[in-house]
């Protein structure tokens, strides 16, 4: 079984029971002029993940291993978006409002979909989620159980919100998670640094942290 040099220690995984999870690499979050940038964020902090993640996905596909993509977003009538989430942000830049790439975070809109560089291939699972975590109100658990998945290699954005929430949810459900530092991103460099430290703290309290070249090398051996 492949072993990756990670923090707080080596991460060994069975390729027959491991999936790559790519969280919310959506145009609304990553594209210049989009929702994320309209809120004053530096989207380059997220876009730096695209190249290493594309390389990882290519290697993962070449090895015949499963990839699961997620997209955060809501139904057009916003019936799945609670007020506690909807009433965030400036009044003109809330979920469902018109944005540069369609209605913000609404399923079916251009901005809701994944960036061109990381588009899913036919047969790869795409999980649409209404919340931060990928397990809440989705069929992710059923997808993983059906495929016999017990370990997750986690990538995507943002580190401290949707990545953290998903990894915490996965850990509570018994999955072992490896988070790749160069393939996750935050708009805030301090959140990126601390978010990764939190995952691997106390002997890996809810996961391991490594870098994508080490994983690519491991699955090519």
Q: What does the pLDDT look like over 58-67, one tens digit per residue?
A: 999 999 999 9
Q: Give pLDDT, residue 11.
A: 98
Q: pLDDT per residue over 24-54, tens digit each?
A: 999 999 999 999 998 899 999 999 999 999 9
Share of the chain above pLDDT 70, in %: 98
Q: Compute how many other C-beta atoms are within 10 angstroms of the C-beta atom of residue 116.
A: 9
Which CATH number characterizes residue 202's domain?
3.40.50.850
The distance of Cα 139 from the centroid of its chain, to the nearest Å, equals 16
> Rounded to 5 degrees, what are φ and ψ at 167?
-65, -40
Residue 19 has pLDDT above 70, yes or no: yes
Angle at 156 between CA 99 and CA 153, to 5 degrees: 155
Average pLDDT, stretch 96-118? Answer: 97
Q: Give pLDDT, residue 91.
A: 60
Average pLDDT, stretch 176-192? Answer: 98
> Minimum mean pLDDT among 4-8, 83-87, 203-207, 214-218: which range?
83-87
Which residues are known catalytic residues?
24, 129, 162
Residue 90 has pLDDT above 70, yes or no: no
Average pLDDT, stretch 141-146? Answer: 98
> Rounded to 5 degrees, what are φ and ψ at 202?
55, 45
Q: How many domains does one find in the chain? A: 1
First to last CA, the chain: 10
**Neighbouring C-alpha atoms within 13 Å toward the C-beta of 94:** 13
Residues 6+ positions from 200 with CB-CB distance below 8 Å: 6, 7, 8, 207, 208, 209
Range of the domain at 74: 3-220
C-alpha span between 11 and 6 (Å, rounded): 6
Q: What is the mean pLDDT of the chain?
A: 96
Quick one: tokens of 65?
């291993």
Average pLDDT, stretch 130-145? Answer: 98
Q: What is the DSSP letter of 88?
A: -
């Amino acid at each position: 079984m492949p072993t990756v040099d990670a923090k707080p220690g080596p991460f060994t995984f069975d390729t027959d029971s491991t999936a790559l999870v790519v969280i919310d690499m959506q145009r609304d979050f990553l594209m210049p002029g989009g929702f994320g940038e309209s809120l004053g964020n530096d989207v380059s902090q997220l876009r730096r993940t695209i190249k290493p993640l594309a390389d990882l996905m290519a290697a993962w596909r070449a090895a015949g291993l499963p990839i699961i993509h997620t997209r955060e977003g809501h139904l057009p009538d916003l019936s799945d978006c609670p007020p506690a989430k909807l009433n965030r942000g400036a009044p003109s830049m809330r979920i469902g409002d018109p944005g540069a790439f369609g209605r913000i975070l609404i399923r079916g809109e251009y901005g809701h979909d994944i960036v061109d560089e990381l588009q899913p291939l036919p047969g790869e699972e795409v999980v649409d989620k209404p919340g931060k975590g990928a397990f809440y109100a989705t069929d992710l658990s059923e997808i993983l159980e059906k495929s016999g998945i017990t370990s997750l290699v986690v990538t995507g954005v943002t580190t401290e919100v949707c990545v953290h929430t998903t990894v915490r949810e996965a850990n509570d459900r018994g999955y072992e998670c490896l988070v790749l530092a160069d393939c996750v991103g935050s708009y805030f460099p301090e959140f990126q640094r601390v978010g990764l430290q939190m995952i691997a703290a106390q002997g890996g309290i809810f996961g391991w942290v490594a870098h994508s070249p080490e994983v690519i090398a491991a699955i090519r051996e």
